[in-house]
Amino acid sequence: MKNLDCSCGCDKLLDECEQEFVFQTFYAKQSHTLQNEYLRGCIDISENLTLANGTTRRTFIYKLHFETKTIAVCQKFFLAVHGIERSRLRRKVLKREVDIQDRRGKHPNHNRVTSDKTKDLMRIFLSALPARESHYSRNKNPDRKF
Measured distance CA(7)–CA(116) in Å, rounded: 67
Residue 101 resides in a domain:
no
Domain range spanning residue 25? 10-94
Digit-coded pLDDT (tens) for 112-144: 788 899 999 999 999 898 888 777 776 777 777
Residue 77 resides in a domain:
yes
Residue 102 resides in a domain:
no
Measured distance CA(92)–CA(38) in Å, rounded: 12
Residue 73 resides in a domain:
yes
Q: Quick one: average pLDDT of 2-17? A: 79
Residue 71 resides in a domain:
yes
Predicted TM-score (pTM) of this structure: 0.62
Distances (CA, A) of 131 to 51, 119, 123, 144, 146: 72, 20, 14, 9, 5
Digit-coded pLDDT (tens) for 58-92: 788 889 888 788 888 988 889 999 988 888 888 76
Residue 115 resides in a domain:
no
Residue 54 resides in a domain:
yes
Angle at CA 56, nearest 5°, toward 50 and 61?
A: 100
Predicted confidence at residue 28, as pLDDT, reads 92
Report whether pLDDT(98) > 60: no
Measured distance CA(53)–CA(122) in Å, rounded: 65
Residue 66 resides in a domain:
yes
Predicted confidence at residue 96, as pLDDT, reads 61
